[in-house]
Amino acid sequence: MVADGATIGEISYETDRAKFIGRGRTTANPQAHSKALSGTDGSVFDPIEAIRCRVTLDPEEVVSINIVTGIGETKSSCMELINKYQDPSFADRTFDLAWTHSQVLLRQINATEGDAQLYARLGGPVIYANSWLRAPESVLSKNRRNQSGLWGYTISGDLPIVLLRIADPTNFDLVRQLVKAHAYWRLKGLAVDLVIWKRGSGGLPTAAPRPDHRFDCGRHRSRHR
Residue in 196, 177, 192, 178 with CA at minimum distance from that of residue 126: 192
Residue in 113, 122, 218 with CA at minimum distance from that of residue 178: 122
State the sign of the Cα–Cα–Cα–Cα dihedral 219, 186, 97, 90: positive
At 134, which amino acid appears?
R
State the sign of the Cα–Cα–Cα–Cα dihedral 70, 75, 77, 80: positive
At 67, which amino acid appears?
I
- State the pTM of this model: 0.59
pLDDT one digit per residue (tens) for the chain, 225 residues: 777 777 777 888 999 999 999 999 998 999 988 888 988 888 888 889 898 888 888 888 888 888 877 788 899 999 988 888 888 788 788 889 988 988 998 998 999 999 999 999 988 888 887 778 788 889 888 988 889 988 988 889 999 999 888 887 777 888 999 999 999 999 888 999 999 888 765 555 433 333 333 334 433 333 333
> Would you kindly state where each structural domain of the chain is located, as residue ranges?
1-67, 114-223
